[in-house]
Structure 1
């Protein structure tokens, strides 16, 4: 296994490249309840927010608060119990081809090369010639051009995750959904992958929804951060009160705009203050 990252990724200026058209996303009154009756458990309740086309939005929250459920609803992998998700003004109904998903694990097919794994993400109807050119461009973009013929077991975890990101970009998604994409990596590789994501976003400026537990990561990458948590709900049984299942669900408890252009100074005093404040919102002492 290669122990270090390969050469630094670089953006391409290939005029034949198909550029992403970033799309806006809207969540309206989203609720997701699992089970029914006495067994009902509401994970999300009354979640409403908008994501601008091309924006990088980070979603923070405690484990189990519904962050991944929110992404699955946006992708059409899970249907909300109430409310809806729209991409570019159109309801998400079923698996939505306008989205691409990247997970914490690379989920590459071990018997395929990195090149072949990336090609799996290509949109249908693309000619063999154009598909080959697209994969080559993405390999170059994520710095894996010298490892195209390697299989996942022959490269490092960070390189495998780069291939996973390239595969997600292969379909030119209007919305890129990232669920803890760097959570399984060591600290140094994680920082390098964060820098890579910024490079990729400059070259392929899609709309990004990023779920993370890492406040520092959110501050480095996002234009805006929302925090999911549980608010006080009306007493069960009162006029217009929420049910017990609804009262248990998470909703947006905070939304903040991250100042400054990317890449940001990791040692910034202003970001340090925001870090402490966000950690407090998550119930953690940031000092």
Structure 2
């Protein structure tokens, strides 16, 4: 049974549907690997909706299936049972409506940042429109002066900004983020969180964010879903749903968020001290 923690009312800062933002539905999703005695159930009966323009974070212990959930939404993996729907249509392979950013930038090392961002453009983009879109994104992520640099010539944070710009190049209805700032140092991570919020205000796609960082989830998300296991049942499922109060950007020193942080850490098995 899913427990809903009533920390507060739903966030008043939830982004309003705009532009291409699309809803996501996870309908009794299950994923297992192997068969018979070797079967390993990763996800079991996961059901939830993400409304257009919402930022929803997924928290859970390492290995609980967070990335597996995201891969199913991206069309990079097929569920064993259930389905994922985007814009009301079942996900069946990689969709032009989605873009993904991973923990590592995964830029082509022989290409410039400008060229790497251009890789994300829709195939239907004209040359002039594509060039203008790449220039716009370079400006948005603060990389215009480094457009001709190759990935090895810039910092990890700058490379991750380019990766995020590449994901946004196709103007996706859904942006899937798999621990996108996990490999960055603490200060760069905070700056990247602020950048993501700025980009979301400019083009509020629906965002599904997988993270292991409770503070990051509280800073960025409208709601947080916690994945965990239940006694006697295989695989992870939704154990808690949390609505995060307040408009974004939120005060990182907020007493309310500090209290919620403690509650969420407890749900993840981290004892309070």
Q: Same fold (TM over 0.5)?
A: yes
How far apart are residue 125 of structure 1 and its match? 1.8
3-state DSSP of counterpart to 1:33: strand
Query: Residues 54-86 of structure 1: CA distance to partner in whole angstroms, max 9, x if unpaired?
Result: 000000000000000000000111000000000
5+ residue gaps, structure 1, are 1-18, 234-246
Counterpart CA distance in 1 for 2:124 and 2:220 is 33
3-state DSSP of counterpart to 2:99: strand
For the 8 Å contact 1:102–1:164, the answer to whether it is kept is yes
Report the equivalent of 1:251: 237
For the 8 Å contact 1:275–1:286, the answer to whether it is kept is no
Report the equivalent of 1:158: 157
Report the equivalent of 1:274: 260
Counterpart CA distance in 2 for 1:194 and 1:24 is 23
Counterpart CA distance in 2 for 1:199 and 1:182 is 16
Larger relative contact order, structure 1 or 2 (CA cutoff 8 Å, min sep 6): 2
How far apart are residue 285 of structure 1 and its match? 1.7
For the 8 Å contact 1:20–1:173, the answer to whether it is kept is no
**Equivalent residue runs for 1:187-202 within 5 Å:** 187-202=186-201
Query: Residues 176-218 of structure 1: CA distance to partner in whole angstroms, max 9, x if unpaired?
Result: 0000000000000000000000001001110000000000000
Query: How many residue pairs were aligned?
Result: 256
Report the equivalent of 1:58: 57
Report the equivalent of 1:135: 134
Report the equivalent of 2:168: 169
**Equivalent residue runs for 1:196-211 within 5 Å:** 196-211=195-210
Aligned-residue RMSD, C-alpha: 0.9
Report the equivalent of 1:184: 183
1:283 paired to 2:269: yes
How far apart are residue 20 of structure 1 and its match? 4.5
How far apart are residue 112 of structure 1 and its match? 0.4
3-state DSSP of counterpart to 1:86: strand
Report the equivalent of 1:122: 121
For the 8 Å contact 1:26–1:86, the answer to whether it is kept is yes
Counterpart CA distance in 1 for 2:250 and 2:261 is 14
5+ residue gaps, structure 2, are 1-17
Normalising by the residue count of structure 1, what TM-score does the alignment of the two structures yield? 0.88
Counterpart CA distance in 2 for 1:62 and 1:267 is 25
3-state DSSP of counterpart to 1:137: helix
Normalising by the residue count of structure 2, what TM-score does the alignment of the two structures yield? 0.92
Report the equivalent of 1:8: none
How far apart are residue 286 of structure 1 and its match? 3.6
How far apart are residue 98 of structure 1 and its match? 1.0
Report the equivalent of 1:67: 66
**Equivalent residue runs for 1:28-47 within 5 Å:** 28-47=27-46
For the 8 Å contact 1:30–1:44, the answer to whether it is kept is yes
